[in-house]
Amino acid sequence: MRSLNSADMGPTTMANPIPRRAMFCIATAFGISSTVQSALITRINSEPTHPSHWIQLPILNLVYWYVPALLAPLIMRLALRHELARASSWQQLAVHGTGAITYSIVHTSAMFALRALLADIVGGPLPTPSRSFWVRAGSEYFTQFDW
């Protein structure tokens, strides 16, 4: 009997993709966990909060995890379609770095836009406009470690 290795097979296909419902259940569990952790840290540190904080907190934490859940099928499809097993380490590093930076920009932009939208809809303290949009966005990008 002949054994098969990856060189014998054609393009890789996902035999058992994660069902969307399961992915969103997992993302929801992570979002709830993040919300509880953030609420506890806020209480432990006795940080002053605006009443809208408690409305925004679960929304922000759920969306924080829903963005990767929405992007995961696309990322997996791209990874399987453009397999880099035979590419050089430098090419793999360049593709991975580009993908990671692209993902982080999309995720950080989504979270930044959601925070602004929630501040407008729900109310609460707005960030001081003493800094330009790009300075605030850059600060958000680097402090959230979404990359």
Q: What is the pLDDT of residues 61-114, one digit of tens each?
A: 999 999 999 998 888 888 888 788 888 889 889 988 999 888 888 888 888 888
Residue 10 lies in a domain: no
Confirm whether 14 is domain-assigned. Answer: no
What is the structure's pLDDT at 77? 86
Q: Is 53 part of a structural domain of the chain?
A: yes
| Domain membership flag for residue 2 | no
Q: Residue 15's pLDDT is what? A: 56
- Going by C-alpha positions, the residue among 28, 114, 20 that lies closest to residue 65 is 28
The domain total for the chain is 1
Residue 128 scores a pLDDT above 90: no
Burial code (b: 16+ CB inside 10 Å, e: under 16) for 51-86 equals eebeebbbbbbbbbbbbbbbebeeeeeeeeeeeeee
Q: Is residue 109 part of a domain?
A: yes
- % pLDDT > 70, the chain: 79
Segment 112-131 shows an average pLDDT of 75
Radius of gyration of the chain (CA): 20
Query: For residues 62 and 28, is the Cβ–Cβ distance under 8 A?
Result: yes
Examine residue 50 and state whether it is found in any structural domain, yes or no. Answer: yes
pLDDT at 1: 46
Average pLDDT over residues 16-38: 90
Residue 12 domain-assigned (yes or no): no
H runs (alpha helix) in 19-52: 20-44
Residue 34 falls inside a structural domain: yes
pLDDT greater than 70 at residue 126: no
pLDDT given for residue 2 in this prediction: 46
By the 8 A CB rule, do 72 and 24 touch?
A: no
Residue at token pair 């909060």: 49
Rounded CA separation 80/53 (Å) = 41
Provide, rounded to the nearest whole percent, the portion of the chain with pLDDT above 90: 24
Range of the domain at 51: 21-144
